[in-house]
C-alpha cells in the first residue's frame, strides 16, 4: 500500500460537493457532519453505504423473479396476441435462427443483471468480512458493474421503442406487460445499489491491517 | 465553525465539522419492503388465479403448440396449452391450465375439441386459426356431474348445441347428395338457415340431415313444408325451352336445401321432414299424395313407355299424373295408377276413355297425312290422355275405378276433345288453363249457359276448331294436325 498518510488517518474529511477539506472530529452516534463552507453533509465514506447497497440489492433480487416469470411484452396480431417473457423471447429468437440478436438479448437481459447482482453481493460480503482477497480485482469488478449497469436498459429501450412504433391496430400491436416494469426496477435498483456502494470500503479493510 | 479558510498544510488550521442528531433506521429499507409487497401480491394473485390443470387426449395434436395454443370458450381465452406429449401410440395428451372460473364446468359431460381452419362445403370456418394456429375449445359440462380432469377430445366439432337459437329440424333422405355442414337452406331463394350436421340413421338406411332455421324465419317451416335438395344446377329441356334452375351461386358449389310451405301448423323443434332429391321430385310426390285427388287404375296390355310421374292430359292440359305402375298379379296386364287432381276430378266420367299419349301417331289415310301427338312433353316423356264422349256423359267416377288404357286414340276421341264441359264452373277453370290456346274463348262462348251438351254442339265445335289451325306456331303444341289436303 502507499506510504502516504490517508486523509482519514490524518483526521481530515473532504466535502463531496465543494471539495473543501475539513478537520474531522468524533461524532456522537447518529450524528452527522456538515461542510463548514457549503453546508453539505460530510462523509468519510459514502453514508450507510453497505446498508443502502444491501437494501437496494435485495429489492433488485426480489424484483428479478417477477421480471423473468411475467411477460415483458405482448405482441398482438390478427390471430390473437402472444405474451413473451424475456426467456421465451430469447427462445423465439433462437428458434427463428436470429442467433446474434438472441445472444445479445440473452446477454444484456439475463446474464448482465445476474452477474451484476452477484458481483455486488460479492463485493458487499467481502467488504463486510473485511476480506483481503484481491482488492484490486474487486475494484475493477466494481468499476465494470458501474459502467455495464446502464446497458441492461437495452431491453427496456427495445420494449419502449416497439410499443411506440408498432401500433398498427389489428394487424400488429405491441403492449408492455408487468414483467417490463419489474425488469426496469431491477436495472434501476442495481444501478443505485452500485452507486451507493463506496469502493473505498474495499481498501479500508487493507488499511486497517496496518 | 462557520469560519472557513484555505487549507493550509497542517491539520490543526482546519475547522471542525458541525455535529447533528441522527435519525434512526435508514428509510432505504422501504424500497426492498415495497418490492417484496408488490412481488408477493403478484405471486399470491397468481396462486389464487391458478385454475385446474386438465389433460385432453387427441388422436392428433395438429396445430397445437405447447405454450402458445390457447384454450378458448366463446372466443375468450380461458387457458393455455402447457405441454403436448405422446400418451400412448394412438393418442397424444394435451396438458392445459385453465382459468379457475372454468372449474365447475369441467365434469364428465364436458367435451373438448380442437378448432382448426375448416374449408369444406362452401363453408369456411376457423379462418383466424390459419394465422394463430389451432386452439382448443370446449362445451361446458353439467356442473352437477362428477368433476373430471382428464378428457378424451372430439376429433370433429360437435353439432351446435340444440338449445341455440333458431328452429332445429331433421330432414331424412336417401342420399346426402353433396350437402355438407354449413350448406345454406333457402326459402324462395332467401337464405334462412343452414345445414348444421348430418349422420346416418342407426340402421344405415337413411341420412338424417340436421338443419337450423334462423329464429327470424322459423315460422316459415310448417307441417306441410316440403324440402328438396337445391344443390347444383337443374337443367331441364322441356316444351318451354331450356330451363336452368339454381338457388344461388353458393348452392351450386356447396349444395343446399330449399323448401316451400303450402300451409299447415308451424313446425316444432325436432320435427322430421322428408328431403327430396329435387324440386321435381317434390312436385311429383305432392301430386301423388294430394289428398282428395281422384285415384284411378288404368289397365293396359303393355306399359308403352309410361313412367311414374308422367302427366295425365285432358285437352293437352296436365290434370294429373301417373303415380305408379305394376303388373297385375297374374301378369296378364299392366295396371297403371293415376291420380287426377281434385279440381279436375269431375272431368272423368264413367264413359271416359284413356289412351297412351306418348309418341306420335301418324296416319296416312284418305284425308292425307295425319300426325297426332299430345304435346311435345308427352312426346318426349310419355303420358296418358283421356277424353269423355260429349253425348253420353255417364256417371262421376269413384276412386279406384278401373279404366282400359288404349295404346292409341281413336279419331272420334280426339274429336270429343274440346266439346265437353263438366259444367260451367269447371269450364271456366279449364279456360283459365288453356286461354293461350286459340279458340278457347270461342269455345267457352259457345258453351256458355249449356249444362248439357247437345248433338248440335258437335258441329259447332268443329267449326270452332278451324280458326285455331291458322295459328301454326301454336299448332304443333296443340298437337292436332288435321289437314285435309
- Ramachandran class of B101: left when φ > 0, alpha when ψ lies in -120 to 50, beta otherwise: alpha
**Residue-level pLDDT at B173:** 86
Cross-chain residue pair A80–B68, CB shorter than 8 Å: no
**Residue-level pLDDT at B467:** 45
Question: In this complex, which of A37, A59, A77 lies closest to B4 when CB atoms are compared?
Answer: A37
Query: Is the same domain home to A39 and A59?
Result: no
Contacts with A88 from chain B: Cβ below 8 Å: 67
The CATH number linked to A95 is 1.20.140
Phi, psi of B479 (to 5 degrees): 90, -15
Distance in angstroms (rounded) separating the CA atoms of residues B345 and B323: 15
Query: Is the same domain home to A78 and A129?
Result: yes
- Domain boundary residue among A24, A44, A64? A44
Å from B45 to nearest chain A CA?
Answer: 12
Cross-chain residue pair A33–B19, CB shorter than 8 Å: yes
A56 touches chain B (CB under 8 A): yes
Cross-chain residue pair B24–A30, CB shorter than 8 Å: yes
* SS3 state at B259: strand
A77 touches chain B (CB under 8 A): yes
Q: How many Cβ contacts (< 8 angstroms) between chains A and B?
A: 114
* SS3 state at B167: strand
Distance in angstroms (rounded) separating the CA atoms of residues B436 and B440: 8
CA atoms in the 13 A half-sphere facing the CB of B476: 5
Q: Which residue of B has its CA nearest to A79?
A: B132
Query: Is the same domain home to A110 and A145?
Result: yes
Contacts with B129 from chain A: Cβ below 8 Å: 79
Closest Cα to residue B435, out of B474, B462, B379? Answer: B474
Is-contact A106 A99, C-beta < 8 A? no
Closest Cα to residue B310, out of B325, B296, B295, B326? Answer: B325
Q: Which residue of B has its CA nearest to A85?
A: B67
A5 touches chain B (CB under 8 A): no
Q: Which residue has the higher pLDDT, A191 or B425?
A: A191
Q: Which of B14, B34, B43, B133 to mutate to test the interface with A (most CBs of A within 10 A)?
A: B14
Query: Is the same domain home to A182 and A82?
Result: yes
Query: Is the same domain home to A28 and A52?
Result: no
**Residue-level pLDDT at A58:** 92
Per the structure, how many domains does chain A have?
2
**Interacting residues of B484 by C-beta distance below 8 A, sequence separation 6+:** B367, B368
Query: Is the same domain home to A110 and A35?
Result: no
**Residue-level pLDDT at B484:** 41
Question: In this complex, which of B14, B26, B70 lies closest to A21 when CB atoms are compared?
Answer: B14
Mean pLDDT by 10 residues, chain B (485 residues): 43 68 72 90 86 89 81 86 88 90 86 76 58 80 84 75 68 80 81 82 84 83 84 63 65 76 79 81 63 77 76 81 81 84 81 77 58 60 78 76 81 65 43 43 42 44 43 44 44
Encode A9-25: b = buried (16+ Cβ within 10 Å), e = exposed: eeebbbbeeeebbbbbe
Phi, psi of B378 (to 5 degrees): -65, -35
Cross-chain residue pair B19–A27, CB shorter than 8 Å: yes
> What nine digits make up the cell of B66?
405447447
Contacts with B67 from chain A: Cβ below 8 Å: 88
Phi, psi of A85 (to 5 degrees): -85, 175
Is-contact A86 A179, C-beta < 8 A? yes
> What nine digits make up the cell of B341?
287432381
Q: Which residue has the cell 433488485?
A: A60
Chain B residues touching chain A at CB-CB below 8 Å? 1-4, 7, 11-12, 14-24, 26, 28-29, 31-32, 34-36, 39, 42-43, 67-68, 70, 77, 128-133
**Residue-level pLDDT at B476:** 46
Query: Is the same domain home to A3 and A68?
Result: no
Å from B309 to nearest chain A CA?
Answer: 55
Question: In this complex, which of B20, B35, B132 lies closest to A62 when CB atoms are compared?
Answer: B35
Q: Which residue of A has its CA nearest to B132?
A: A79
* Residue spans of beta strands (DSSP E) within B43-159: 50-58, 70-73, 76-88, 91-99, 111-115, 118-120, 123-125, 135-139, 150-152
Closest Cα to residue B337, out of B297, B375, B309? Answer: B297
> What nine digits make up the cell of B462?
268443329
Rg (CA), chain B: 41
pLDDT one-digit tens code per residue, A13-46: 888 778 888 887 777 777 778 888 888 887 777 7
Is-contact B290 B248, C-beta < 8 A? no
Question: In this complex, which of B20, B24, B39 lies closest to A63 when CB atoms are compared?
Answer: B39
Query: Is the same domain home to A25 and A55?
Result: no
Contacts with A27 from chain B: Cβ below 8 Å: 17, 19
Cross-chain residue pair A24–B18, CB shorter than 8 Å: no
Encode B73-96: b = buried (16+ Cβ within 10 Å), e = exposed: beeeebbbbeebeeeeeebbbbeb
Distance in angstroms (rounded) separating the CA atoms of residues B476 and B468: 11
How large is the average pLDDT for residues A138-144? 87
> What nine digits make up the cell of B62?
395438429
Cross-chain residue pair B26–A37, CB shorter than 8 Å: no
Å from A104 to nearest chain B CA?
Answer: 24
Question: In this complex, which of A21, A56, A80 lies closest to B31 when CB atoms are compared?
Answer: A56
Q: Which of B5, B10, B18 to mutate to test the interface with A (most CBs of A within 10 A)?
A: B18
> What nine digits make up the cell of A14?
473532504
CA atoms in the 13 A half-sphere facing the CB of B375: 19
Query: Is the same domain home to A101 and A177?
Result: yes
Residue A59 has pLDDT above 90, yes or no: yes
Residue A153 has pLDDT above 90, yes or no: no
Question: In this complex, which of A25, A62, A178 lies closest to B16 when CB atoms are compared?
Answer: A25
* SS3 state at B478: helix
Burial class (CB in 10 A: 0-12, 13-18, 19+), B341: middle
A185 touches chain B (CB under 8 A): yes
**Residue-level pLDDT at A121:** 92
Q: Which residue has the cell 270452332?
A: B464
**Residue-level pLDDT at B237:** 63
* Residue spans of beta strands (DSSP E) within B204-253: 207-213, 226-229, 234-238, 241-245
> What nine digits make up the cell of B342?
281434385
Question: In this complex, which of A65, A79, A82 lies closest to B39 when CB atoms are compared?
Answer: A65
* Residue spans of beta strands (DSSP E) within chain A: 12-14, 21-23, 32-34, 41-42, 73-77, 80-84, 173-176
Query: Is the same domain home to A70 and A137?
Result: yes
Q: Which of A80, A91, A170, A187 to mutate to test the interface with B (most CBs of B within 10 A)?
A: A80
Distance in angstroms (rounded) separating the CA atoms of residues B122 and B184: 9
**10 Å Cβ neighbour count for B235?**
10
A34 touches chain B (CB under 8 A): yes
Distance in angstroms (rounded) separating the CA atoms of residues B79 and B53: 9
Element housing B314 (H / E):
strand B311-314
Distance in angstroms (rounded) separating the CA atoms of residues B444 and B426: 11
Query: Is the same domain home to A120 and A18?
Result: no
**Residue-level pLDDT at B23:** 61
Q: The domain containing residue A25 runs over which residues?
A: 1-44
Distance in angstroms (rounded) separating the CA atoms of residues B279 and B230: 8
* Residue spans of beta strands (DSSP E) within A35-106: 41-42, 73-77, 80-84
Query: Is the same domain home to A32 and A77?
Result: no
A26 touches chain B (CB under 8 A): no
Amino acid at each position: 500500500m502507499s506510504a502516504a498518510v490517508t486523509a482519514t488517518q490524518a483526521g481530515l474529511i473532504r466535502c463531496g460537493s465543494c471539495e473543501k477539506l475539513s478537520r474531522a472530529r468524533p461524532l456522537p452516534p447518529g450524528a452527522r457532519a456538515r461542510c463548514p463552507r457549503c453546508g453539505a453533509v460530510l462523509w468519510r465514506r459514502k453514508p450507510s453505504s453497505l446498508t443502502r447497497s444491501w437494501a437496494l440489492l435485495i429489492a433488485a433480487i426480489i424484483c428479478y423473479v417477477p421480471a423473468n416469470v411475467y411477460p415483458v411484452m405482448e405482441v398482438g396480431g390478427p390471430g390473437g396476441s402472444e405474451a413473451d417473457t424475456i426467456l421465451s423471447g430469447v427462445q423465439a429468437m433462437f428458434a427463428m435462427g436470429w442467433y446474434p440478436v438472441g445472444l445479445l438479448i440473452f446477454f444484456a437481459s439475463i446474464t448482465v443483471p445476474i452477474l451484476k447482482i452477484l458481483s455486488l453481493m460479492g463485493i458487499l460480503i467481502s467488504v463486510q468480512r473485511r476480506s483481503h482477497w484481491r482488492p484490486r480485482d474487486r475494484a475493477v469488478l466494481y468499476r465494470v458493474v458501474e459502467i455495464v449497469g446502464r446497458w441492461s436498459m437495452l431491453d427496456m429501450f427495445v420494449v419502449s421503442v416497439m410499443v411506440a412504433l408498432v401500433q398498427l391496430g389489428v394487424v400488429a400491436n405491441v403492449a408492455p406487460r408487468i414483467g417490463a416494469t419489474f425488469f426496469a426496477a431491477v436495472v434501476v435498483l442495481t444501478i443505485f445499489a452500485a452507486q451507493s456502494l463506496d469502493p473505498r470500503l474495499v481498501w479500508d479493510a487493507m488499511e486497517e491491517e496496518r | 465553525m462557520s469560519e472557513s479558510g484555505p487549507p493550509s498544510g497542517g491539520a490543526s488550521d482546519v475547522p471542525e465539522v458541525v455535529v447533528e442528531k441522527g435519525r434512526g433506521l435508514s428509510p432505504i429499507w422501504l424500497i426492498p419492503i415495497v418490492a417484496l409487497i408488490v412481488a408477493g401480491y403478484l405471486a399470491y394473485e397468481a396462486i389464487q388465479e391458478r385454475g385446474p390443470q386438465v389433460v385432453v387426449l387427441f388422436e392428433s395434436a395438429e396445430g397445437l403448440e405447447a405454450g402458445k395454443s390457447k384454450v378458448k370458450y366463446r372466443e375468450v381465452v380461458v387457458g393455455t396449452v402447457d405441454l403436448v406429449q405422446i400418451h400412448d401410440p394412438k393418442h397424444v395428451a394435451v396438458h392445459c391450465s385453465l382459468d379457475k372460473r372454468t372449474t365447475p364446468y369441467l365434469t364428465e359431460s364436458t367435451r373438448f375439441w380442437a378448432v382448426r381452419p375448416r374449408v369444406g362445403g362452401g363453408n369456411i370456418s376457423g379462418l383466424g386459426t390459419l394465422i394463430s394456429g389451432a386452439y382448443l375449445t370446449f362445451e361446458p359440462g353439467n356442473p352437477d356431474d362428477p368433476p373430471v380432469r382428464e378428457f378424451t377430445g372430439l376429433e370433429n366439432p360437435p353439432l351446435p348445441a340444440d338449445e341455440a337459437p333458431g328452429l332445429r329440424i331433421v330432414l331424412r333422405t336417401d342420399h346426402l347428395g353433396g350437402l355438407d355442414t354449413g350448406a345454406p337452406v333457402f326459402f324462395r331463394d332467401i337464405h334462412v338457415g343452414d345445414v348444421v350436421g348430418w349422420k346416418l340413421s342407426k340402421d344405415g338406411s337413411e341420412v338424417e340431415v340436421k338443419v337450423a332455421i334462423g329464429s327470424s324465419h322459423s315460422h316459415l317451416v310448417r307441417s306441410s313444408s316440403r324440402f328438396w335438395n337445391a344443390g347444383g344446377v337443374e337443367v331441364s329441356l322441356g316444351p318451354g325451352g331450356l330451363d336452368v334452375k339454381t338457388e344461388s351461386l353458393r348452392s351450386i358449389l356447396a349444395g343446399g336445401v330449399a323448401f316451400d310451405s303450402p300451409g299447415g301448423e308451424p313446425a316444432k323443434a325436432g320435427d322430421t321432414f322428408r328431403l327430396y332429391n329435387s324440386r321435381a321430385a317434390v312436385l311429383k310426390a305432392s301430386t301423388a299424395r294430394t289428398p282428395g285427388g281422384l285415384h284411378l287404375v288404368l289397365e293396359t296390355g303393355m306399359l308403352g313407355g309410361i313412367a311414374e310421374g308422367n302427366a295425365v292430359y285432358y285437352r293437352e292440359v296436365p290434370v294429373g299424373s301417373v303415380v305408379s305402375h305394376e303388373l297385375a298379379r297374374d301378369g296378364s296386364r299392366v295396371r297403371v295408377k293415376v291420380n287426377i287432381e281434385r279440381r279436375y276430378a269431375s272431368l272423368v266420367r264413367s264413359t271416359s276413355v284413356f289412351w297412351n299419349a306418348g309418341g306420335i301417331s301418324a296416319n296416312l289415310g284418305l284425308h292425307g297425312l295425319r300426325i297426332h301427338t299430345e304435346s311435345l312433353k308427352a312426346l318426349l316423356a310419355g303420358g296418358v290422355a283421356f277424353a269423355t264422349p260429349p253425348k253420353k256423359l255417364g256417371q262421376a267416377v269413384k276412386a279406384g275405378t278401373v279404366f282400359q288404357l288404349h295404346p292409341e286414340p281413336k279419331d272420334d276421341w280426339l274429336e270429343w276433345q274440346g266439346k265437353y264441359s263438366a259444367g260451367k264452373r269447371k269450364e271456366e277453370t279449364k279456360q283459365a288453363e288453356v286461354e293461350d290456346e286459340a279458340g278457347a274463348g270461342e269455345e267457352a262462348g259457345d258453351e256458355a249457359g249449356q249444362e248439357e251438351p247437345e248433338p248440335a254442339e258437335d258441329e259447332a265445335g268443329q267449326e270452332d276448331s278451324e280458326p285455331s289451325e291458322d295459328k301454326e306456331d301454336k299448332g304443333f303444341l296443340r298437337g292436332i294436325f288435321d289437314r285435309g289436303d
